Amino acid sequence: MRVDADLIFKERERRAWSQEQLADVAGIGFRTVQRIEASGKASLESVAALASVLDLSIDDLRVDDQESRSFWTGKSALRLKTAIVGTLLLTGMLLALNRAAFADQYIVLSVDAVVNGLDRTEAQILNRAGANSEVMIWKDYRLLIVPTVLESGDVRLTLQVQKLKGDEYVQVAAPRVITQDGKQATVKSGWRDGDSIVINITPTIQNAADRS
């Protein structure tokens, strides 16, 4: 299926997500996201997953062309459509179940960032699992964090370090780390301009019932 790759890119950028972050949230492969944005072609399963996390419909993403129209003609069209509808329903159910599981989970992120061994930022954020949070860690740097609770109970932290260049922030690092609930994870980054950052993050999982 042909899709509007520009729309996917714009929606991803609007959320300040990297391709890896979009892949994680949508539950599809990182290379799949790269291929879709580069070629404008995707499977229905991937389109359904992307549409769900970007708050769009499949029709919003689909590009109608002669190739797409000819694909739907022929004797097997009805069986193919039926199979696709079934696949979409199953995908929607799985996404709904996944979101329902996340809906009752919040994560407290304790962040300790040190820039160049001197400038220190400490913050504590209450974040819904799977959502994006932002922390300013110095005058020129900010940190985007997407925590995800894995089936094992561990927490995956998808990070994006951005530096202010001119009037906009540009990604300079995108590390990922997996740690245990309540256990500190450490990420270190350095660049040719001499800046270095050490980031310590401790995630603590909370259920909605614990917060009431």
- What pLDDT score does 204 carry? 93
CA–CA separation, 66 and 91 (whole Å): 27
CA-to-CA dists, residue 86 to 43, 45, 71, 79, 211, angstroms: 14, 11, 18, 11, 38
- What pLDDT score does 83 carry? 63
- The ranges of the chain annotated as CATH 2.40.128 are 104-211
Mean local confidence (pLDDT), 30-59: 90
Q: Is pLDDT above 70 for 90?
A: no
- The ranges of the chain annotated as CATH 1.10.260.40 are 5-102
Name the CA radius of gyration of the chain, rounded.
20
Q: Which two tokens stand for residue 73?
A: 């003609």
pTM above 0.85, yes or no: no
CATH for the stretch 104-211:
2.40.128
- What pLDDT score does 121 carry? 86
Q: Is pLDDT above 60 for 10?
A: yes
Query: Apex CA 203: angle with CA 194 and CA 149, to 5°?
Result: 115
More confident residue, 190 or 42: 42
- What pLDDT score does 191 carry? 73
Q: Which two tokens stand for residue 138?
A: 């110095």
- How far is Cα of residue 109 from the mean position of the Cα atoms in its chain? 17
CATH architecture of 5-102: Orthogonal Bundle (1.10)
